[in-house]
Amino acid sequence: MDIKKIDQELREKTGTAAIESYTKYRHRQEPAPAAPGASVLFLGTGGNPEAVFSQVPRTAGFILVVDGLRLYVDPGPGAVVRAREAGLDLGSLDGIFISHGHLDHYAGAEAVIEAMCWGMFVRRGVVLAPRQVLERDRLLSIYHQGKDRLSGYKGGPTVRILEAHQPMPIGKVALTPIPAYHGEENYGFILQTESLTLGYTSDTNYIQGYTTPEGSKDLSYRGPIMDLIDIVDYRTDIKEAFSQVDVLIANVTSHNVYAHRHITTLGLAHLLRGSKVKLCIMTHFNHCCLSPDDLRPPMATYVEQTSGVRTLYAVDGGNYNIAEILRR
């Protein structure tokens, strides 16, 4: 074995490979603009701890492509892995939206930021997140916020702090944060384009009180809602905000449990009733929605038949062309 020859070959091949990697991932050209229209790719449709550690369903969040904007929403655990499996170039992203500081909504964000910013070599893209995530709890490092000038990496994103009801222009669209009721600082959003209004609820409770055969109840009881007749008290601001959109992406978690923290499909049907929503896509399913039985089809049927609004349930890896669905 000629160790000098091995050393020389390693030096040459490593140098060549490093140049190729640098060119591919860092010294590259801006991607072509996304095609017109609107689509959503669900790299993951799961939420809550059981989904995080079982990955049933996955917790990688979703990517919106709207009027040329490529926006990654709530990149949770597994984000870059699922993006690679889907053949996506995360270096083409324009932005990342983080609704709140729970693991299933932000844990994959730092890796996605490195991809969006081309190995932290280029300043590009925007990160939209609550102040709590960025400053108080610093769930994204200073480096990944593009503020570490001593790291040797000159790249990073522009960081913008979400403020309730304050529109934020991004490319050709405007994003308005909508406060949610779940944990501490938390926002859904409404995206306004020239031809479409799209809403995302984030995680939020909705039902506050309901009637039963025995009388009225409030949500101080945190177990399954088994005796609901009608919802009589609810988050009116959530209903008012999201009743006006064309398309709603709703984080449901379950049908009738965890209602003190999540909309549930009981609450979603009420929210949609009498709204202008043309299409609702449910996501953020707890593990209990898939095991031991797949409850998602009857959950979607319940919401659609109760509210009168066309309702789909998202699946891991599902890519939904909004315009095509609305034309059907």
Q: Which residue has the higher pLDDT, 35 or 285?
A: 285
**Phi and psi angles of residue 282, each rounded to the nearest 5 degrees, phi first:** -90, 140
The answer to whether the CB of 204 falls within 8 A of the CB of 242 is no
Which domain covers residue 301, as residue numbers?
A: 33-327
Task: State residue 36's pLDDT score.
Answer: 83
In the numeric block, which tokens belong to residue 237? 């601001």
Q: Which residue has the tokens 């008012």?
A: 240
Q: Cα-atom radius of gyration of the chain, to the nearest Å?
A: 22
DSSP 288: G
Q: Which residue has the tokens 């959003």?
A: 189
Residues 6+ apart with CB under 8 A from 147: 156, 159
Cα–Cα dist 194/37, whole Å = 11
Each residue's pLDDT tens digit, 96-110: 999 999 999 999 999
Alpha helix segments (H runs only) across 214-280: 236-242, 264-272
Each residue's pLDDT tens digit, 155-181: 999 999 999 999 999 988 999 999 999
Q: Let me know if residue 247 belongs to a domain.
A: yes
Q: Let me know if residue 61 belongs to a domain.
A: yes
Cα–Cα dist 262/222, whole Å = 11
pLDDT tops 80 at residue 1: no
In the predicted model, what is the mean pLDDT of the chain?
Answer: 95
Task: State residue 221's pLDDT score.
Answer: 67
Q: Which residue has the higher pLDDT, 46 or 220?
A: 46
Q: Let me know if residue 311 belongs to a domain.
A: yes
Mean pLDDT along residues 187-205: 96
pLDDT tops 70 at residue 241: yes
Q: Let me know if residue 266 belongs to a domain.
A: yes
Share of the chain above pLDDT 70, in %: 100
Task: State residue 223's pLDDT score.
Answer: 81
Task: State residue 55's pLDDT score.
Answer: 94
Q: Is 25 exposed, middle or buried (0-12, 13-18, 19+ CB in 10 A)?
A: middle
Q: Let me know if residue 218 belongs to a domain.
A: yes
pLDDT tops 90 at residue 64: yes
Task: State residue 168's pLDDT score.
Answer: 97
Q: Quick one: which of 109, 103, 121 has its CA closest to 72? A: 109
Each residue's pLDDT tens digit, 21-56: 888 888 888 888 888 889 999 999 999 999 999 999
Strand, coil or helix: 243:
coil
Whole-Å CA distances, 198 to 143, 210, 237, 243: 32, 29, 17, 11
Q: Let me know if residue 28 belongs to a domain.
A: no
* Amino acid letter for position 317: G
Each residue's pLDDT tens digit, 116-132: 999 999 999 999 999 99
Tally of domains in the chain:
1
| Domain harbouring 316, CATH code | 3.60.15.10
Q: Let me know if residue 320 belongs to a domain.
A: yes
The answer to whether the CB of 93 falls within 8 A of the CB of 80 is no
Each residue's pLDDT tens digit, 301-313: 999 999 999 999 9
